[in-house]
Amino acid sequence: MKTKYILNFNPEASNLPITHNLIAEYGLLVNILRAEIDEVGGKMLIEVSGDEASTKNGVEYLEKIGVGVRPFKEGVRRNDETCTHCGACVSICPTDALSIDPETRKVKFDEDKCVACGVCIDACPPRAMEILI
Amino acid sequence: MTKPRKAHGEKNRQAKTYDHIRKKASDGDAVVMTAMEFKRFVESEGVGKAAEEVDIVTTGTFGAMCSSGAYFNLGHSDPPMKIQRAWMDGIPAYSGLAAVDLYLGATELDESNNMLHGGAHVIEDLVNGKAVRLKATGYGTDCYPLKEIDTYVSLKTMNQAVMMNIRNAYQNYAAAANSSTKTLYTYMGKLLPELGNATYSNAGEISPLLNDPYYRTIGIGSRVFLGGGEGFVVWEGTQFNPGVARTPKGVPKRPAATVSVIGDLNGMTAEFVKGLTFTRYGTSLGVGIGVPIPILDEEMASFCAVTDDKIFTAIFDYSHQKRSRPILAEVSYADLSSGKVDIKGKEVPTSPLSSISKAREITEILKKRILDGSFELTEPVQRLPLDRSLRTLEVRGEKEAMK
């Protein structure tokens, strides 16, 4: 099973090898989709693959060491009324979450593929894309 | 204005006249097809049969068209005022006209310099029925004593609110990519470094002027779908440049003709009049235009049969900050719309910028309007010229400029 989580760290937790621990101690596959760190701590978007029990244990470990964990459901939202389906976003989206349907020529947004990198936000001429994290 | 010339179409026996087609349309007997339907019809039935059986083909385009704007007559205040400077929702409007006439350009930006909000957005708001804050100042005269006003206006308060675009609906357009090592922010959108993407901006095979390459039917006086309402072609558009290289079928391989259009903002819809922001370039207006093309004879049928694989453009390298940019690749619109093009051996993802889905919607709406009798086909009162060439702006002396 694959699950995406947003992790929020305080500066202390930023120094712990948590990705290593999730992999070595809990047997999870961790894909870091996005990571940011600044003076008040850090934020990471990860995709975790593993069975349900290991995923649960991994999340509990993170919470125990003071990492804020919340499931990632929606990172970028498209306002369907504002979108003109011009396609300015499709060639810059690094994960192909945005693509043009060859039949209808409308822009499709596959939220599962979106890693909330935000590249589309300021590339959208009618400003239909909004980042939520 | 134009030199007499032997025009395309004159050698052909006119199989149908405008009157004939208009009569059929008003009797409810006209055969109207969208550009897409027509191309499929020609593919299966051939050009000859298409010329005989089809009367009108509807074409459309929706894209960022910077040389757009609107003029307004605000009505007179009491006491009256000769407006010298004016702002509509903070966007400067040109007032070097009669007392209460203004022109608001789509790319005019607000004075906070954030490059996000411009004239285009104010025009969209007005079309949406919103009220817009109007501030204006004047110098005061005996006949126009008022020096300042701060009020609201909307389509309901103004005498005239008219879209007047001096360059729209480009017949073909350049495509863009970026070979440098940094991201470029352009009117062609965000161009990723090292040929990370390519953008193009034309509806291709369903775009009006690509279906009438020598302007036999699209001319001054043509009634068009404009921004959801109706308008007319009033002149050749600026930078009209029909002399570019063409394919054997006559389709320009570079940006060529443009049209200037006019239409009442009342009756337009925000679906087809959209304020756009191109980051670090500025604003533009997304305009939807649709043009009906009468299939007068076999030549017109063959023009309208053109498909994306027969329409070509060049991808230019926008990292060169020059008037003439190097060409990276020559491609067809079929290549561009496949989602990937080959540039120097690299597979580069593409973005259209021009909304093909909205353009198709326009062709459908226009077809419906012609069929229900609410949109009447018009014959141009004057054809667009074929003898223009593109001039450049140089730093020159007074005498040199007069040569």
Average pLDDT over residues B75-97: 98
Burial B345-359 (b: 16+ CB within 10 A, else e): eeebbbbbbbbbbbb
* Helix, strand, coil distribution of chain B in percent, nearest 5: 20, 30, 50
- A90–B277 CB contact, under 8 Å: no
Domain boundary among A40, A71, A102: A71
Residue A108 tokens read as 């499709």
pLDDT at A42 over 50: yes
Q: Do A84 and B351 touch (CB under 8 A)?
A: no
The SS3 of residue A99 is strand
Percent share of chain B, pLDDT over 70: 97
Q: Are residues A112 and A83 in the same domain?
A: yes
* Model confidence pLDDT, tens digit, residues B253-307: 999 999 999 999 999 999 999 999 999 999 999 999 999 999 999 999 999 999 9
Judged by CB atoms closer than 8 Å, whether chains meet at B351 and A89 is answered as yes
Cα separation of B59 and B36, whole Å? 9
Check: CB of residue B163 under 8 Å from CB of residue B234. Answer: no
* Interface contact B62-A88, CB threshold 8 A: no
pLDDT band at residue A10, thresholds of 50, 70 and 90?
confident
Question: Which of A14-18, B97-101, B175-179, B280-284 comes out lowest in average pLDDT?
Answer: A14-18
Is residue B14 over pLDDT 80?
no
Same domain, A84 and A67: no
Interface touch A106/B357, C-beta < 8 Å? yes
How close does chain A come to B147, measured CA to CA in Å?
A: 37
The proportion of chain A whose per-residue pLDDT surpasses 70, expressed as a percent, equals 100
B269 vs chain A: nearest CA distance in angstroms? 13
Alpha carbons within 13 A on the beta-carbon side of A117:
16
Contacts of B321 (CB under 8 A, 6+ apart): none
Q: Does the beta-carbon distance from B199 to A85 stay under 8 Å?
A: no
pLDDT tens sequence across A101-114: 999 999 999 988 99
Q: Would you place residue B165 in the very low, low, confident or very high pLDDT band (cuts 50, 70, 90)? A: very high
Looking at the structure, tell me whether residues A31 and A60 fall in a common domain: yes
Binning pLDDT at 50, 70 and 90, where does residue A115 land? confident
pLDDT in tens, B50-73: 999 999 999 999 999 999 999 999
Point out the residue among B196, B199, B274 whose CB comes nearest to the CB of A84: B274
Give the mean pLDDT of chain B.
95
Q: Which residues of A touch B190 (CB under 8 A)?
A: 88, 92, 119, 122-123
pLDDT score at B2: 43
CATH of the domain at A30: 3.30.70.260
Whether pLDDT at A19 is above 90: no
Distance CA B29, CA B189 (A): 44
Distance from CA of A49 to the nearest CA of B (A): 29
Q: B350: which chain A residues are within 8 Å (Cβ-Cβ)?
A: 90-91
Minimum CA–CA partner of A85 in chain B: B355
Say yes or no for a CB contact (<8 Å) between A88 and B353. yes
Q: Which residue of B has its CA nearest to A122?
A: B279
Q: Please check whether residues A49 and A84 belong to one and the same domain.
A: no
- The pLDDT value recorded for residue B4 is 41
Cβ within 8 Å, pair A99-B339: yes
| Interval B338-360: pLDDT, tens | 999 999 999 999 999 999 999 99
pLDDT of amino acid A41 = 82
- Chain B residue with CA closest to A126: the answer is B276
| A64 & A86 share domain | no
Provide the number of CB pairs (under 8 Å) joining chain A to chain B: 77
ipTM over 0.90: yes
Give pLDDT, residue B197: 98
Question: Which of 10-69 (A) contact B at CB < 8 A?
Answer: none
Interface contact flag, A84 B358, Cβ < 8 Å: yes
**What is the reported pLDDT for A16?**
82
Based on the fold, state whether residues A90 and A115 are members of the same structural domain: yes
**Residue A86 and residue A31 share a domain:** no
pLDDT digits (tens, 9 = 90+) for B348-396: 999 999 999 999 999 999 999 999 999 999 999 999 999 999 999 999 9
The CA distance from B339 to the nearest CA of chain A, in Å, is 8
Q: Which residues of B touch A99 (CB under 8 A)?
A: 339
Query: What pLDDT shows up at residue A35?
Result: 87
Q: What percent of chain B has pLDDT over 90?
A: 95
pLDDT of residue B7: 53
Q: Is the pLDDT of residue A12 over 80?
A: no
User: Is A104 in the B-facing interface, judged by CB distances under 8 Å?
Assistant: yes
Range of the domain at A132: 74-133
Instruction: Give the amino acid at B355.
Output: S
Contacts of B269 in chain A (CB under 8 A): none
The predicted structure's pLDDT at residue B12: 52
Are A19 and A79 part of one and the same domain? no
Report yes or no: A87 at the B interface, CB cutoff 8 Å: yes
Buried b (16+ CB within 10 A) or exposed e, A76-85: bebeeeebbb
> Do residues B312 and B335 make contact, with C-beta atoms less than 8 angstroms apart?
no
Cβ of residue A79 closer than 8 Å to a chain B Cβ:
no
Residue B158 has pLDDT above 80, yes or no: yes
Residue A14 DSSP label: G
Distance CA B403, CA B399 (A): 7
Interfacial residues of B (vs A; Cβ cutoff 8 Å): 62-64, 189-190, 192, 196-199, 274-279, 284, 286, 337, 339, 348-358, 360
Phi-psi region of A89 (alpha: psi -120 to 50; beta: other; left: phi over 0): alpha
What are the catalytic residues of B? 143
Which residue of chain A has the CA closest to B336?
A: A91
- Identify whether the C-beta of residue B318 lies closer than 8 Å to the C-beta of residue B178: yes
Q: Verify whether the Cβ–Cβ distance B286 to A126 is below 8 Å.
A: yes
Interatomic CA distance for residues B131 and B161, integer angstroms: 13
Same domain as A126, residue A90: yes
CA pair distance B257, B249, nearest whole angstrom: 16
A65 in the same domain as A8? yes
Residues in A touching B278 (Cβ below 8 Å)? 125
Closest CA of chain A from B134, distance in Å: 24
Lowest mean pLDDT among A63-67, A72-76, A98-102, B28-32: A72-76
Q: Do B351 and A87 touch (CB under 8 A)?
A: yes
Q: Kindly report the CA angle at B200 between B195 and B204, in degrees rounded to 5?
A: 145
Number of domains forming the structure of chain A: 2
Q: Transcribe B34-89 into DSSP letters.
A: EHHHHHHHHHHH-HHHHHHH--EEEEEEEEE-SS-EEEEE----SS-B--SEEEET
